[in-house]
């Protein structure tokens, strides 16, 4: 049996990424009901909002779901308290040190997964008792590592370095990429951008629509001096480039960023002034269907890809070289 399915008690090793301003209880429960693992994105939620989403998610699905917690979140103690009290079975932590929360969460019976951008942190996660890692490649949307390692290069190197299950993330928007990730040795996949552009995503319609018009070159990793983030190119992105081109210092960049830019762009639909966090796979996204339809589509593409790959293999293992 697939190790990710076994770990979470789900039917397909497909995780819907916890994303700010996109993944509330509607999206997470839709994915969990299809047999994947839906995640609430707590990074854009006040504690009471998170509590409400957890409760609604429990009402909307009897299947396991989880919460993504960026470890840089200021009110993190309250978040963790609510997660434990509400009996959420799975927590994905990101953007921080896995040593701090893993033990406490696991003592409370919670499965802990940590997001890593390189081999070094993956090995540390395993040492600290983390149950699985998400290898997030350079092509992923939103905040990203400084090493700029792509999914293609990161997944096999992490798979070789740890024995815990590995979930591939970054650049996975259809079933071909799911098959590719599994070929690289991943035990499962995490899909963000594609689920951000569904009916159940709480992102603004303007944001979703904009993504469906994006091409392959529409996103860039930027703000590397502050905290690298992959954004759709827009006016705000251009302003940041301009500041960087004249060697503005970190404080100037932070001042220009200000607060609430992601909310403005993703949730309020201000396409000029908002931070439009999305992955490079945006260029493959052309429609805004229900999350369940996306789930079915991806499973179908995956199955077709694997069977075509097997049928058309240009070299078989029983051939003599």
Quote the least distance from Cβ 56 to its own copies, whole Å: 25
Which 177-206 positions form the footprint of its own copies (CB under 8 A)?
Answer: 177, 179-185
Q: Is the dihedral of CA 151, 155, 161, 165 positive or negative?
A: positive
> Under a CB-based contact definition with an 8 Å cutoff, are residues 157 and 121 in contact?
no
DSSP label of 29:
H
Per CB under 8 A, does 321 bind its own copies?
yes
Q: How far apart are CA 194 and CA 16, in angstroms?
A: 9
Quote the least distance from Cβ 11 to its own copies, whole Å: 8
Q: Which residues pair with 262 in a beta bridge?
A: none
Quote the least distance from Cβ 277 to its own copies, whole Å: 16
Which 71-100 positions form the footprint of its own copies (CB under 8 A)?
Answer: none
Per CB under 8 A, does 320 bind its own copies?
no
| Candidates 68-76, 126-134, 165-173, 263-271; binding stretch for its own copies (CB under 8 A) | 165-173
Number of Cα atoms under 13 Å in the Cβ half of residue 167: 29
Measured from the CB atom, is 181 or 197 closer to its own copies?
A: 181
Which 124-143 positions form the footprint of its own copies (CB under 8 A)?
Answer: 137-139
Block residue for tokens 């493959």: 284
Given 107, 163, 246, 251, the residue binding its own copies (CB under 8 A): 246
| Candidates 40-48, 53-61, 92-100, 151-159; binding stretch for its own copies (CB under 8 A) | 151-159
Q: Are strands 229-232 and 142-143 parallel, antiparallel or unpaired?
A: antiparallel
| Candidates 83-91, 203-211, 252-260, 306-314; binding stretch for its own copies (CB under 8 A) | 306-314
By rule CB under 8 A, what count of residues binds its own copies? 64
Number of Cα atoms under 13 Å in the Cβ half of residue 280: 18
Which residues touch 236 (CB under 8 Å, ≥6 apart)?
Answer: 261, 265, 272, 273, 274, 275, 276
Per CB under 8 A, does 226 bind its own copies?
no
**Site mask, its own copies, residues 276-305, x = CB under 8 A?**
----xx-xx-----------x--xx-xxxx
Measured from the CB atom, is 49 or 183 closer to its own copies?
A: 183
> Under a CB-based contact definition with an 8 Å cutoff, are residues 110 and 83 in contact?
yes
**Site mask, its own copies, residues 13-42, x = CB under 8 A?**
x-----------------------------
Quote the least distance from Cβ 146 to its own copies, whole Å: 9
Which residues touch 266 (CB under 8 Å, ≥6 apart)?
Answer: 20, 21, 22, 203, 204, 207, 274, 275, 276, 277
Which residues touch 15 (CB under 8 Å, ≥6 apart)?
Answer: 4, 36, 37, 39, 66, 92, 134, 167, 188, 189, 190, 191
For the chain, the maximum distance between any two Cα atoms, rounded to a whole number of angstroms, is 63
Given 37, 50, 119, 243, the residue binding its own copies (CB under 8 A): 119
Positions touching its own copies (CB under 8 A) are 2, 5, 12-13, 118-120, 137-139, 147-154, 156-157, 160, 170-172, 174, 176-177, 179-185, 215-217, 220-221, 246-247, 280-281, 283-284, 296, 299-300, 302-307, 309-310, 312-317, 319, 321
């Amino acid at each position: 049996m697939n190790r990710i399915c076994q770990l979470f008690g789900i039917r397909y090793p497909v995780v819907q990424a916890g994303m700010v301003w996109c993944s509330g209880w509607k999206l997470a429960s839709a994915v969990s009901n299809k047999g994947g693992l839906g995640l609430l994105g707590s990074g854009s939620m006040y504690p009471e909002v998170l509590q409400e989403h957890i409760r609604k998610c429990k009402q909307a699905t009897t299947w396991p779901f989880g919460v993504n917690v960026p470890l840089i979140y200021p009110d993190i103690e309250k978040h963790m308290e609510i997660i434990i009290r509400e009996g959420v079975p799975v927590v994905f932590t990101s953007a921080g040190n896995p040593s701090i929360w893993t033990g406490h969460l696991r003592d409370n019976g919670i499965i802990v997964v940590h997001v890593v951008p390189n081999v070094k942190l993956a090995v540390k996660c395993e040492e600290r008792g983390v149950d699985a890692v998400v290898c997030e490649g350079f092509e992923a949307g939103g905040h990203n590592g400084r090493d700029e390692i792509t999914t293609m290069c990161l997944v096999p190197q992490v798979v070789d370095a740890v024995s815990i299950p590995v979930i591939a993330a970054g650049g996975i928007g259809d079933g071909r990429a799911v098959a590719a990730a599994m070929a690289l040795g991943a035990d499962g996949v995490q899909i963000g951008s594609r689920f951000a552009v569904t009916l159940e995503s709480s992102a603004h319609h303007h944001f979703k629509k904009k993504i469906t018009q994006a091409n392959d070159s529409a996103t860039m990793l930027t703000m590397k001096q502050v905290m690298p983030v992959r954004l759709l190119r827009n006016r705000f992105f251009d302003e940041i480039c301009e500041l960087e081109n004249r060697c503005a210092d970190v404080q100037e960049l932070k001042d220009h960023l200000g607060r609430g830019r992601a909310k403005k762009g993703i949730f309020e639909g201000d396409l000029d002034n908002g931070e439009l966090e999305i992955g490079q796979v945006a260029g493959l996204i052309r429609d805004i269907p229900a999350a369940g339809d996306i789930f079915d589509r991806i499973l179908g593409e995956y199955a077709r890809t694997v069977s075509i790959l097997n049928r058309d293999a240009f070299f078989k293992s029983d051939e003599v070289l």
